[in-house]
Structures are given as C-alpha cells and as structure tokens.
C-alpha cells in the first residue's frame, strides 16, 4: 500500500476533486471522537487487567527506596522521553510534603550513549551504565512499546543478575519483556503506539503516587512507634 492509498483509507473524505469544507470538518471531528474513544477503551482495559501488576511493582519499588536504593530509567525514542519523565517525577515531586527520591535517567548522557553505540553497538548503551552504576537493591524501569528493544532486554537481564528490581512497560503481547526478563511487566493490550504510550504515562504517574503513599505509610508507622515509646 502506497502512502497515498493509506491516507485514502484513513481519511477518505480528504481526497477527491471537490471537497465540502463542512463535510471535511465533520469527518475530522469524527476521527477525533474515534481516537478519543479508542484511547479511553484501551486505558480502561489496561488498568482492569494490569492493576494488580502495577500494585506489585509499586510495592517492589517502595522496597527499593526503603532500603536506600536508587531507580534507573531507560527507553528509546518517544519512550526515552517517558524514561526522562519518570525520573523527573521521582526526583522533583510536585506534590507538597513528598520527598525527592533518587532516580537516574540512563538516556540523558548523549556522549556516553553515542560513544558506546558507535564503539560496541547500540544494544549496549544501557547495560554498560547498569554495570557501572547499578548495585544490588536498586531498581530499573524500562519502557518499550513493543517490548522487544534489544538494548532494554540486555540491561534487564544484567540488572536481574546483579540483584536489581526490574519493571517493564510494554504493549501488544508484551514482547520479550513479558517472557520473564522483568520482575514486573505492565502490558498495554493494543498495537497502537500512541495508545500504548498514553497508558504508560498514566501508569507511571500512578506508580509514582503509590510509591509515595507506601513510603508515607512507613513514616506514619514509625512516628506512631516513637509516640508510643
């Protein structure tokens, strides 16, 4: 299918010798409604299926911070932006009273990633950093819409071997990330990259909130013990 014929299928109302502006607007508005509906339905399906996995991941990540560990994040392309977003959420909480938590974005160092990619291969850009910086008890979050990104898989395998808690965000059937590579893998049940990324954003915002809630409960329990003593 050529690019033109693909557009004909997606937006047939845009093609033809004469176009009625009102009809074009109506078609585009319908397209917006359909995409919004699809987004809502995908989001609802994802959270209905994956809520227990998300809770388990939050408990595991809270445990990382409880033990004094750090979190690393990684992703490629649009997912690298999500990796950056996750790290910022934990480092710079916008909700009053919530402490900053150690989070390191592995996609941030352009010189390092381009050097490793150029010298030994792009699949090594994250695993090299995990070897250098990761310690048993730390956590690693990776985002991939397919779940098959080779550089993420390599880092996850090494991280688990080193004793890190691993959390994956994927889509479709989960890809290799859902085959046991990650301790916790959140899979969005669609092949649409846009819908997957939309669910990932909502999921890691909730993950952030749950982790802080769990840690706040710990602090509350400790305070109660101090009062009782």
Q: DSSP letter string over 50-84?
A: HHHHHHHHHHHHHHHHHTT--EEEEESTHHHHHHH
Mean pLDDT of 77-96: 94
pLDDT tens string 116-131: 999 999 999 999 999 9
Closest listed residue to residue 43, CA positions, set 177, 204, 196, 175: 196
| Position 95 confidence tier, pLDDT thresholds 50, 70, 90 | confident
Q: What is the pLDDT of residues 4-59, one digit of tens each?
A: 666 676 666 566 656 788 888 888 999 999 999 999 999 999 999 999 999 999 99
The answer to whether 128 touches 110, Cβ cutoff 8 Å, is no
Helix axes 193-228, 78-91, angle to 10 degrees: 20
pLDDT score for 224: 45
Can you tell me which residue has the tokens 């990633």? Answer: 113
Average pLDDT estimate for 196-207: 98
Structure tokens, 37: 């509906």
Fold classification of 16-222 (topology level): Rossmann fold (3.40.50)
Output the pTM of the full model.
0.86
CB atoms closer than 10 angstroms to residue 101:
22
- 142 within 8 A of 151, measured Cβ to Cβ: no
């Amino acid at each position: 299918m050529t690019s033109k014929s693909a557009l004909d299928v997606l937006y047939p109302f845009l093609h033809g010798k004469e176009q009625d502006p009102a009809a074009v607007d109506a078609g585009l508005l319908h397209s917006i409604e359909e995409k919004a509906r699809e987004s809502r339905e995908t989001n609802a399906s994802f959270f209905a299926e994956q809520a227990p996995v998300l809770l388990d991941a939050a408990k595991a990540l809270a445990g990382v911070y409880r033990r004094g560990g750090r979190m690393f994040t990684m992703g490629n392309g649009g997912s690298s932006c999500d990796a950056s977003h996750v790290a910022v959420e934990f480092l710079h909480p916008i909700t009053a009273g919530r402490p900053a938590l150690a989070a390191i974005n592995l996609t941030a160092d352009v010189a390092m990633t381009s050097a490793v990619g150029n010298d030994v291969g792009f699949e090594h850009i994250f695993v090299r950093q995990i070897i250098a910086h990761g310690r048993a008890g730390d956590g690693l979050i990776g985002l991939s819409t397919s779940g098959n990104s080779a550089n993420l898989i390599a880092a996850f395998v090494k991280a688990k071997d080193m004793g890190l808690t691993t959390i994956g965000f994927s889509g479709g059937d989960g890809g290799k990330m859902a085959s046991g590579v990650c301790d916790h893998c959140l899979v969005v049940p669609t092949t649409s990259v846009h819908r997957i990324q939309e669910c990932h954003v909502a999921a890691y915002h909730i993950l952030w909130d749950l982790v802080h809630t769990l840690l706040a409960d710990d602090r509350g329990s400790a305070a109660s013990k101090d009062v009782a003593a």
